[in-house]
A and B are shown apart, each in its own frame.
Chain A
């Protein structure tokens, strides 16, 4: 990997962290409505995946989607504007935190019903297969989604039709407040892929390079026509499920232990120790991200609300 690539991965992870921190503040100030699910702690997962993809590869995820949006190349301006419900947001202020997308950047959302986007992802992959294009659909979901029927129908179909999908389970140990052990018949989620005859691997999700390498290997196999592949990426969210989560289901000791493995800290250490970057260079990136996020918040706050006419726009494509 070239130095610039390393620095870019680092920048993206820091960008996600800072955007999420500002989002939490804006939420507490009452400027963001609805639910807000932060990606803090899981940055290495989407960053590693996005770095492994080619431009023709589609990304689709669940409701914890701000990080993926940034990795896909959506500006922090658009992300924060969507959080504030502004017309300049990714979805013109009509989707909110859980519904960001940008088809130009091959980011297909942002889907808020647990597991429901898995069969849709199979359909995206079918689109590429049908047209003979070599794009792959990278579909991310949480461990909690693997207990719902959508998961099983979507994953089964992908194998039956040999669809170009990379299934990525972000195992952050909890579906809301329920541990994997209390909700899933098997605590090693990759075993479920085994049941459908899909090659699979468990990966350390606190190490961005490990995620990237595992994804590259999987994508190469899929692109070679070998059918779907399944990654279980072990990660952890440092914040609650969403804002206002009382977190009665886990001990602060557990959170602290995972925070010692902060994916940004881990990568920072790696870059310095392996002389991929200097401390000064990384500090400069952090300072620039701070500035960019501040500018993004300013942009979003100064952006217009959707016009009243927007209420009735885009219900149907056609006029009847």
Chain B
């Protein structure tokens, strides 16, 4: 078990898959000569050459459209969208083409494509560059949506995504790249569509994913000092959503908080809490609470931005309220 960063984990997954399979190639803005704006693909251009590490114009529709077409011919493109905020420019291809083609043509087409992209706030990039719109993409049947929170999951899930025959949106977090964690040695994958208990506990269930996993684990450590034993469930995949570990945990603790970085309205928490009430209403000893981003476009000013983002203190408070 080596300890590496999320950035290294993603980079290793890409490199290993490219070494394993000729048909895996990368395309996106500034991924080649530049080395990737988040430095994930640094060195790839020299190792694999311009055929397999393809710099594109700043043209998101061309990037995703071309990735879909190439995937339909049997290649395994990994398209990078520099940030998830630019995914809106390619929305039709992401939600209206890739997830529909297999179904709509009676199973004839396959789209084994991964779209890697970066979401999240906290870097003072202003409202248009700081969003966590994951829930929008998880709305569409036919599109796998993954958002890992640890180096181990980032590497294993990205490898699984590249090997999957379905289109996958793989959402990384802009402030998580430096987070370190243990990663198994050698080749491994993490199954898509499986939630995971990242910290066992018996008093309160915290359901979360991506960057908010880190904050939830921090909150759990703080709460442990006060004698509150929190179980943290990491969704890891938003579609298909695996509710089993969530429900199992909730049936044990009877109290839950769902934490997400995006806005509360029509968000991931809305979905998860609805399903908990639908399937385990009788187990609730207190109303389930949600922690999410304040309903504002994220401001540039650092203090205001941090006020809008969910913090460890918000999670601690919510846990105490359901306790």
Whether the Cβ atoms of B66 and A113 lie closer than 8 Å is: no
Contact between chains at B65 and A119 (CB < 8 Å): yes
Given the complex of chains A and B, what is the CA–CA distance between A123 and B92 in angstroms? Answer: 16
Contact with B along A289-320 (1 / 0, CB 8 A): 00000000000000000000000011111101
CB neighbours (8 Å) of A125 from chain B are 69
Contacts of A131 in B (CB 8 A): 73, 75
Counting CB contacts under 8 A, is B225 at the interface? Answer: no
- Alpha-carbon separation in the docked complex, A40 to B51 (Å): 43
Contact of A103 among B92, B109, B193 (CB under 8 A): B109
With A153-B57, A153-B59 already in contact, the answer to whether A316 and B142 are too (CB < 8 A) is: yes
> Number of A-B pairs whose CB atoms are under 8 Å?
148
B209 in the interface, Cβ–Cβ < 8 Å? Answer: no
Scan B41-61; emit 1 where CB is below 8 A from any A CB, else 0.
Answer: 000000000010010110101
A123 engages B103 (CB within 8 Å) = no
Which of B54, B104, B106, B192: most chain A Cβ within 10 A? B106
Q: Is B108 an interface residue (CB 8 A)?
A: yes
CA A235 – CA B163 in complex, angstroms? Answer: 45
A123 pairs with B106, CB closer than 8 A: no
Contact of A127 among B70, B102, B105, B166 (CB under 8 A): B70
A121 on the B face (CB < 8 A): yes
Would you call B62 and A119 a contact (CB within 8 A)? yes
Interface centre among B73, B108, B164, B166 (most CB of A within 10 A): B73
A residues sitting closer than 8 Å to B (CB atoms) are: 89-95, 99, 101-103, 108-111, 113, 116, 118-128, 130-131, 149-150, 153-154, 156-157, 160-161, 313-318, 320
* 9 closest Cβ pairs, A-B complex: A123-B69, A119-B65, A127-B73, A320-B193, A92-B106, A153-B62, A123-B66, A317-B165, A314-B107
- B residues whose Cβ falls under 8 Å from a Cβ of A: 25, 51, 54, 56-57, 59, 61-62, 64-75, 77, 92-93, 96-97, 101-110, 112, 141-142, 144, 164-166, 191-194, 237, 240
Beyond A95-B105, A108-B72, list 12 extra A-B contacts (CB 8 Å): A89-B106, A91-B104, A124-B72, A126-B66, A127-B69, A149-B61, A153-B57, A157-B57, A316-B102, A316-B144, A317-B164, A318-B165
